Structure 1
Amino acid sequence: MSFKIAIIGAGSVGFTKKLFTDILCVPEFQDVEFALADMSEHNLQMIKQILDTIVSSNKLPTRVTATTNRREALTGARYIISCVRVGGLEAYADDIRIPLKYGIDQCVGDTICAGGILYGQRNIPVILDFCKDIREVAEPGAKFLNYANPMAMNTWAAIEYGKVDTVGLCHGVQHGAEQIAEVLGAKSPSELDYICSGINHQTWFVDLKLNGRKIGKDELVAAFEAHPVFSQQEKLRIDVLKRFGVYSTESNGHLSEYLPWYRKRPDEITKWIDMSDWIHGETGGYLRHSTETRNWFETEFPQFLESASKPIDRAKRSNEHASHILEALETGRVYRGHFNLKNNGIITNLPADAIIESPGFVDRFGINMVSGITIPEACAATCMASINVQRMSVHAAVSGDIDLLKLAVLHDPLVGAVATPEEVWQMVDEMVVAQARWLPQYADAIPAAKERLAKSTVKTRDWAGAARRNVRSIDELRAEKAALKQAV
């Protein structure tokens, strides 16, 4: 088979390499063309070197091109994969730093919360530009696979306003299933059969079977509490499991941002998180992790290049959805996964216009979702709080309505639990002014926002958060990796 795959934001080097290798694990796909696009020529050249090394080492006919001209990369593409982070780590740092001044402590801040909402404001205009190019120059009927956060907002905008065949993809469900399989003593995650449904990062394992045997709440709680690692790292998720009766896909730190009861008081935060890794609740944890990963890659690039010379091992194909979806669409081999699409009755007790994440099957006829799923009322209630924020955020991003943006932030569960309306109004002004270069839709609103900030009497504070760690140096990272290797 020969067709073109465009990867936008390909400078996300590690993730691009994983998707590329996964796709080449499909025997029929070795003759495809990969068109890489990114704003950073530096990052593009690094990832192209890595992918070219994989191709040459495995003696494949695969073609790899790289360009900063997005439209050129999209021309003739059958599949478009987006991994973009508009504003990069610079804007992301503001997503964490500015809300902290108003007492809002985020672990990740890329889905909802103040940071996730502003992230969506930066991404959505760019996503709509992608969609315009896809409609105009990609292969007719091209499919857009969005991996970029905020997942639901980006996918919502692409479907409702971009008018492109779009699916949102994430790996939270797979990771949650792996945890459950481990605590239950399964030899392989494949022994676990499950229905997981909700919205991205708030998806719920509403039905669990291990080798055909139904797993109930009490058994699952006991299994997690007995696990020597997860019992400490996932304290919040276990508490939610006890109260809601079902396990959430999302990490301890992420989940703490969507359920404000665990993160609204600084002295309470440390009771529910674990500092062994960013994903368990650390203040600005993903920002620190992303910064360290970028620095490590820049320094250790020769090692990454050397590892790319090894033969592709099809047995190590990852469980990221992209390669499996492409395989199913092109070959007809059926794939079951969890996909982000507009609801339209798939989940009975969530709105029709919402972007939900739920089970589906893929074959050459497309993505076919399982409809008529009803999730527990408490799960639906927490999802609804986020959906209402997402809807307002998308509409604000498209219209450039700063008042609607402020209302979206005000209705965010964690923000609303911590900040007053007056504080929210000033915080949004501050964030929009700080990120103006990435927010063209708010250009007319920026001067007034600056004037309001100059006259504001709302007090802020210089606060690092309840559980902050410093970015580690390359030497510290090397020492830690060496210690782990020696321990193994």
Structure 2
Amino acid sequence: MSFKIAIIGAGSVGFTKKLFTDILCVPEFQDIEFALTDISEHNLGMIKAILDRIVEANSLPTKVTATTNRREALEGARYIISCVRVGGLEAYADDIRIPLKYGIDQCVGDTICAGGILYGQRNIPVILDFCKDIREVAATGAKFLNYANPMAMNTWAAIEYGKVDTVGLCHGVQHGAEQIAEVLGAKSPRELDYVCSGINHQTWFIELKLNGRPIGKDELVAAFEAHPVYSKQEKLRIDVLKRFGVYSTESNGHLSEYLPWYRKRPDEITRWIDMSDWIHGETGGYLRYSTETRNWFETEYPQFLEAASKPIDPAKRSNEHASHILEALETNRVYRGHFNVKNNGVITNLPQDAIIESPGFVDRFGINMAAGITLPEACAATCMASINVQRMSVHAAIAGDIDLLKLAVLHDPLVGAVSTPEEVWQMVDEMVVAEAAWLPQYAHAVPAAKERLSKAHVKTREWAGAARRNVRSIEELRAEKAALKQAG
């Protein structure tokens, strides 16, 4: 087979390499073209060198091109994969730093909450530019695979306003299933059959079977509480399981910021999180991890390049959806996964226009969702709170409506549990002004926001958060890696 895949944001080096090797694990795909595009020539150069080394080491006919000209990369592409971070770590730092001044302590801040909503405002204009290019220069019927957060908002904008065939992809369901299989003592995650449904980062394992045997709430709670690691790392997640009766796909840290109950008081935050790794609830944890990863990669690049000389091992193909979707569409080998699409009746007790994450099957006819799923009422209620925020956020981003943006932030569950309306209004002004370089749709609103801030009277504080760790140096990372290697 010969076709073209464009990867936007290919400068996300580690993830692009994973997608690339996954796709080349499909025997029929070795003669295809990968067109890499990014705004950073430096990152493009690094990832192209790595992918060229993989092609050379495996004696493949695969073609790899790289350009900062996005339309050139998209021209004739059958599939477009996006893994962009609009504003980079600079804007992301403001997503964490500014809400902290108003008492809002986020672990990740890239889905909803104050940071995730502003992240969506930066992304959506860019997503619509991608869609315009896809409509104009990509192959007829091209499919857009969005990996970028905020998943639901980006996918919503691409489908509703970008008018492009779009699916949102995430790996939270797979990771949650691996955890459940482990605590239940399964030899392989393949022994676990499940139905997982909801919205991205708030999907719920509403049906579980291990080797055909149904698994109930009490057995699952007991299994997690008996696990020597997860019982400490997933305390909040286990508490939600006890109260809701079903397990959430999302990590302890992520889940904590989508709910109004666990991160609203600093003394409560430390009770529910674990500091052994960022993903379990650390303040600004993903920002720290992302900063360290970037610094580590820049310094250790020669080693990454050397590692690219190893043969591709199909047995190590990851469970990221992209390669499996492409394989099913192109070869008709059926793939079952969990996909972010417009609801349209798939989940009976969520709105029709919402972007849901739910089971589906892929073959040469496309992605076919399993319809008629009804969520437990508490799960639906939690999802609804986020959906309402997402809808307002998308509409605000499209219209450049700062008043609607403030209402979206006000209705966020965690923000509403922590902040007053006056605080929210001032915080949003501050965030829009700080991130104005990436918010073209709000250019008209920035002068008035600056004027309001000059007369601001709401008190703020400089606060690192309830559970903050410093960014580790390269030397510290090397020492920790060496210690782990010695211990292992």
TM-score calculated relative to the size of structure 2: 1.00
Superposed CA deviations along residues 223-282 of structure 1, whole A, max 9, x for unmatched, are 000000000000000000000000000000000001120000000000000000000000
Superposed CA deviations along residues 373-411 of structure 1, whole A, max 9, x for unmatched, are 001000000000000000000000000000000000000
What is the rounded CA distance, in whole Å, between the counterparts of 1:462 and 1:313 in structure 2? 49
What is the rounded CA distance, in whole Å, between the counterparts of 2:306 and 2:180 in structure 1? 35
Superposed CA deviations along residues 323-364 of structure 1, whole A, max 9, x for unmatched, are 000000000000000000000100000000000000000000
The equivalent residue for 2:94 is: 94
Compute the RMSD of aligned alpha carbons: 0.3
Q: CA deviation at 1:427?
A: 0.2
Identity %: 91
Q: Secondary structure at the match of 2:162?
A: coil
Superposed CA deviations along residues 431-453 of structure 1, whole A, max 9, x for unmatched, are 00000000000000000000000
Q: CA deviation at 1:3?
A: 0.2
What is the rounded CA distance, in whole Å, between the counterparts of 1:191 and 1:12 in structure 2? 33
Q: Secondary structure at the match of 2:257?
A: helix
What is the rounded CA distance, in whole Å, between the counterparts of 1:459 and 1:44 in structure 2? 43
What is the rounded CA distance, in whole Å, between the counterparts of 2:449 and 2:442 in structure 1? 10
Q: Secondary structure at the match of 2:337?
A: strand
* Number of equivalenced pairs: 488
What is the rounded CA distance, in whole Å, between the counterparts of 1:208 and 1:102 in structure 2? 41
Q: Secondary structure at the match of 1:111?
A: coil
What is the rounded CA distance, in whole Å, between the counterparts of 2:28 and 2:252 in structure 1? 39
Superposed CA deviations along residues 306-326 of structure 1, whole A, max 9, x for unmatched, are 110000000000000000000
Q: Secondary structure at the match of 1:444?
A: helix
The equivalent residue for 2:21 is: 21
What is the rounded CA distance, in whole Å, between the counterparts of 1:97 and 1:260 in structure 2? 20
Q: Secondary structure at the match of 2:393?
A: helix
What is the rounded CA distance, in whole Å, between the counterparts of 1:411 and 1:70 in structure 2? 36
Superposed CA deviations along residues 10-58 of structure 1, whole A, max 9, x for unmatched, are 0000000000000000000000000000000000000000000000000
What is the rounded CA distance, in whole Å, between the counterparts of 2:308 and 2:296 in structure 1? 17
The equivalent residue for 2:235 is: 235
- Residue 12 in structure 1 maps to residue 12 in structure 2: yes
The equivalent residue for 1:111 is: 111
Superposed CA deviations along residues 78-97 of structure 1, whole A, max 9, x for unmatched, are 00000000000000000000
Q: CA deviation at 1:430?
A: 0.2
The equivalent residue for 2:50 is: 50
Q: CA deviation at 1:66?
A: 0.3
The equivalent residue for 2:124 is: 124
Superposed CA deviations along residues 153-210 of structure 1, whole A, max 9, x for unmatched, are 0000000000000000000000000000000000000000000000000000000000
Uncovered stretches (5+) of structure 1, i.e. residues with no partner: none
What is the rounded CA distance, in whole Å, between the counterparts of 1:385 and 1:293 in structure 2? 33
Q: CA deviation at 1:295?
A: 0.2
The equivalent residue for 2:333 is: 333
The equivalent residue for 1:457 is: 457
Q: CA deviation at 1:111?
A: 0.0
Q: CA deviation at 1:217?
A: 0.2
Q: CA deviation at 1:5?
A: 0.1
Q: Secondary structure at the match of 1:206?
A: strand
Q: Secondary structure at the match of 1:262?
A: coil
What is the rounded CA distance, in whole Å, between the counterparts of 1:284 and 1:457 in structure 2? 26
What is the rounded CA distance, in whole Å, between the counterparts of 2:420 and 2:96 in structure 1? 18
What is the rounded CA distance, in whole Å, between the counterparts of 1:317 and 1:111 in structure 2? 27
Q: CA deviation at 1:98?
A: 0.1
What is the rounded CA distance, in whole Å, between the counterparts of 2:45 and 2:105 in structure 1? 36
What is the rounded CA distance, in whole Å, between the counterparts of 1:54 and 1:260 in structure 2? 46
Q: CA deviation at 1:124?
A: 0.2
What is the rounded CA distance, in whole Å, between the counterparts of 2:97 and 2:111 in structure 1? 16
Q: Secondary structure at the match of 2:349?
A: coil
Q: CA deviation at 1:372?
A: 0.2
What is the rounded CA distance, in whole Å, between the counterparts of 2:129 and 2:319 in structure 1? 29
What is the rounded CA distance, in whole Å, between the counterparts of 2:314 and 2:306 in structure 1? 19
TM-score calculated relative to the size of structure 1: 1.00
What is the rounded CA distance, in whole Å, between the counterparts of 1:261 and 1:403 in structure 2? 26
What is the rounded CA distance, in whole Å, between the counterparts of 1:223 and 1:118 in structure 2? 38
